[in-house]
Every structure is written in C-alpha cells, then in structure tokens.
Amino acid sequence: MVLAEGTSAPDFKLMGTDNGAHSLSDYRGKKVVLYFYPKDDTPGCTKEACSFRDSMESIKSDDTVVLGVSKDTVMSHIKFTNKYNLNFMLLADMTGKVHEEYGVVGKKSMWGKSFLGTVRSTFIIDRKGKIVKVFSPVNVDGHSDEVIEALRNVA
C-alpha cells in the first residue's frame, strides 16, 4: 500500500551517484521530490528522468531537490546519469527496503507474466518531512509539469 498524503516520510540512507550516503533527513528544510522508477536506461524511465532534468530550473527555483530511486546499482545510476546528463541525485535501493517502506512494490505484468515490481510513484515531501502529494501509478507524459504544479501549493 502506497504511503498516504499527510503521513511522515520514512527516513532512509542510500548511496547516491556521488558515491556518498544520502538520508532523507539530510534535506530537511527543503522540499523533496522523491520518485521511484523501475530501471535505469529503459524507455519510460529515461523519458521520466529527462523530463525532470529539463524541468530542473523551475523545480530548483522552488527550493526543491529531486531524488530518483530504483533498485539498480550505483554504477548503473552513474552510467545512466552520464549518458543523459542528469542534474539530480539517483539513489540505489538494491535491497528494495525503501521501496517496501514507501509501498511502491506491486503486482505488474509484462508479456502475459505477472511479477512483483516497482510501481512508478512520486512523493512530494514538505520541508518538515511530511508527504503532501502522492502520484501513483505515474503516467510519464506530462508528469514533471504535474509535479511543478503541485510544488506551487507546498509551503
């Protein structure tokens, strides 16, 4: 079950594309766009990441950071970041623990087979660590615009 709006965002510590450890609490005092995606360098995930990249000026001007999370390795994230010149941090949740805490693991199907996987989801977290907006599942088309619009309503 995806975490609900109005709840406290669980803290975590994950390795990022700068080879440093990042906790959600490191960003207290800023707004955070925390988005979970299935896999580096796949069509939908690339489109979503590049959309955030291209919208970063608007997002940053609102004193907001973007953190992308998948189960890929840090090395995979670094290659993905370099290939597409991503201008925000990607975090490696290789154990899937943070995915589970945020409730973004769900039943998916591809080519007639069902499996558990990452449900593309975005959480907007306010300066105090409260989830103020949830998008799940996410439709990649126009998603960064939805996020920018939602950020305008966050103090």
Catalytic residue chosen out of the listed positions 24, 33, 45, 67: 45
* CA neighbor of 132 nearest in space, from 117, 154, 116, 115: 154
Q: How far apart are CA 144 and CA 16, in angstroms?
A: 21
Q: Which residues contact 70 (CB under 8 A, 6 or more apart)?
A: 36, 37, 38, 39, 40, 45, 77, 90, 92, 93, 118
- Four-residue CA torsion sign, 75, 76, 80, 81: negative
Q: Is 50 a residue of the active site? A: no
Catalytic residues: 45
